[in-house]
Amino acid sequence: MEALAAGLGGLGVPLRMFGAAVPAAALDDAVRRTGPAAVVLWSQSRDTADRRLARAVAGRAWGVKGARAGARVLLAGPGWTGGTPNGMLRPRGLREALRLLGPDQEGRRG
């Protein structure tokens, strides 16, 4: 995540980074309040891969009715095993994550 943050910073992409200790409800609230273009959820192991949280973040929308937007959700790290849920992205490495989140992709949903 540090390498991704540094790479995005080098591309001029603004970001907020939260640590692993952030409760799921606080993360969901932050997404609702800030309306990010994308959210990257890191999971180091199967035990920390919270698919319910990923679905909640992916389903969160903001803005005026008829022009609602939502964040692209990227599942990163070795803990996300199995299939990738609909509407979410699973980059295979840093280069792909940077391509998906870079300035050319801002505002696009996967």
Higher pLDDT, 65 or 50: 50
Model confidence, pTM:
0.86
The 10s digit of each residue's pLDDT in 84-110 is 888 899 999 999 999 999 987 654 544
What is the average per-residue pLDDT within 58-63? Answer: 84
Token couple for 76: 């990163």
Per DSSP bridges, beta strands 69-70 and 61-62 are antiparallel
Give phi and psi for 76, each to the nearest 5: -125, 150
Go through 17-38 and write b for each residue having 16 or more CB atoms within 10 A of its CB, e for each that does not.
Answer: eeeeeeeeeebeeebeeeebbb
Say if residue 64's pLDDT is above 80: no
Structural domain 2-105, CATH architecture = 3-Layer(aba) Sandwich (3.40)
DSSP annotation of 98: H
